Chains A and B, each alone.
Chain A
């Protein structure tokens, strides 16, 4: 099976595939990298620490899977449990551990200003996307299409079967609502 196909498998299938295809773990990493990074950066407030903990989380997960002590249920809550434990360890020790990575002989990874900035933004994005999902349905559709998917107003209007003016109003009201809620969050 080509590694490209792995991304189409669900988590349980990937865990099975991992027994014969190491690439399956890379697919799991790609799937859960952003959620785990976002979760950690929101709790630590530090992009570098969040990246460090993410690396240790996935390294720990790989070790467990190789010892056949993987998840008894779905992968998602399991990987977040590992992340939560790694975070708790870090808070207790005052620094992030790297024992799993050392045992796996993993080298450090380049983490420059661009990566750090992108990780920082994950925290903001996670908050905003939560707020987007709480918008009224018509505004949510319009905001997602315009702001996240970056579609033209004409294209959105055709999809939603309404006029461009209506779409613009929905986007405008949705953004106004989001900004108000963001301000509320900030204060």
Chain B
């Protein structure tokens, strides 16, 4: 299997166009200049052009889901359940080109089958953080492989994926709808991407610690494991990262009723406005803005001191 199947396809196309045994040779239409020169993000743009074409032709966005390494989740074309649409305006608005853009495609290529069947028509790009990471909402209609009590009684999940500017994409954070309805929201922490040197230092630190037997292992059955990782004892993938110097971003998905959020255990208890059902707080190093109070448009605190919000306060 090729590591870069797209390159194989491009080379095959070039070989066909230059095949001396097949005349006449059909040239490609003119390209738009040197902007397509680079790999990486520009290449994602090219990929998206294809995706957009498929969308226009068939009326459905059909992005590439998953990858050959971690598997390919299924697409779901069913709308999210009414209880999600009722409380999340971002799901009620039409999907835009930005929602189907680079970040969302990258997020979906990192999505695993165990995360659920992707409601591709309701994927939303929510924001871009100051460090360049994009936050993408991915609704799924089934969370396979998850045996939590929530998942057993509520298989409509909402996942937040964070697409960093470099390095590996962390696993998406998911919550069942019921979690949103009782005032828990869906929060994920986003750290600045590690530099290549930090990545190497982290790998070395993990190996040292594992040899000394003083680090727990985190099992991730979907992790792809290289030979070097197996030899280094990382068959069960270690996910505890040495953190970059900057503090984390706290990124939370909240229902429509929440107009702003107060970060209770952060000095000064800052209040941040909600946009597109998302609220972001960039913490300083050492701060962990985990506790929040939800505030409605009238300034009323909905869940003071971490008390859950009654569903009647959330569902219109």
Contact = CB atoms under 8 A, between A and B. Distances in A.
Interface in A102-117: 102, 104-117
A51 interface: yes
Interface in B78-136: 105-106, 109-110
Contacts of A24: 15
Contact of B231 (A23, A112, A128): A128
Interface residues of B, number: 61
A147 B45 CA distance: 38
A62 B39 contact: no
Contact of A114 (B2, B40, B67, B166): B67
A127 B47 CA distance: 33
Interface in B1-45: 2-4, 6-21, 27-28, 31, 34, 36-40, 42-45
Interface string A112-144: 111111110110110111000000000000000
Contacts of A52: 38-39
Contact of B3 (A22, A37, A175, A186): A37
Interface stretch (B174-182, B220-228, B255-263, B289-297): B220-228
Most chain A beta-carbon neighbours within 10 Å: one of B19, B44, B67, B207: B19
B164 interface: yes
A175 B64 CA distance: 38
B110 A118 contact: no
A25 B106 CA distance: 29
B193 to A, nearest CB: 10
B3 A112 contact: no
A64 to B, nearest CB: 11
Contacts of A105: 14, 17, 27-28, 31
A178 interface: yes
A84 interface: no
Contact of B12 (A23, A54, A66, A122): A23
B46 A107 contact: yes
Contacts of B106: 112-113
A23 B22 CA distance: 13
Interface in B143-188: 163-164, 166-169
A172 B106 CA distance: 39
Contacts of B43: 108-111
A20 B23 CA distance: 12
Interface string A68-102: 00000000000000000000000000000010011
B204 interface: yes
B69 interface: yes
Nearest to B43: A108
B267 interface: no
Interface string B45-61: 11100000000000000
A114 B109 contact: yes
Contacts of A118: 3, 69, 224
A48 B43 CA distance: 11
A110 B3 contact: no
Contacts of A178: 231
Given A26-B12, A109-B7, A121 B39 contact: no
Contacts of A66: 18, 20
Contacts of A156: none
A112 B11 contact: no
A18 B36 contact: no
A125 B228 CA distance: 5
B236 interface: no
B232 A179 contact: yes
A104 B140 CA distance: 41
Nearest to B22: A22
A113 B168 contact: yes
A5 to B, nearest CB: 16
Sort A-B residue pairs by CB-CB distance and give the 6 closest, nearest first: A124-B228, A109-B6, A22-B15, A108-B43, A121-B226, A104-B14
Interface of B: 2-4, 6-21, 27-28, 31, 34, 36-40, 42-47, 64, 67, 69-70, 105-106, 109-110, 163-164, 166-169, 196, 204, 207, 211, 224, 226-233
5 contacts: A22-B19, A106-B13, A108-B36, A109-B43, A122-B3
Interface of A: 18-20, 22-26, 29-30, 33-34, 37, 45-46, 48, 51-52, 54-55, 58-59, 62, 66, 98, 101-102, 104-119, 121-122, 124-125, 127-129, 147-148, 175, 178-179, 182, 186
Given A18-B15, A105-B31, 15 more contacts: A20-B19, A22-B16, A26-B12, A33-B4, A46-B196, A55-B4, A106-B14, A107-B31, A109-B43, A110-B44, A110-B64, A112-B67, A118-B3, A121-B228, A182-B228
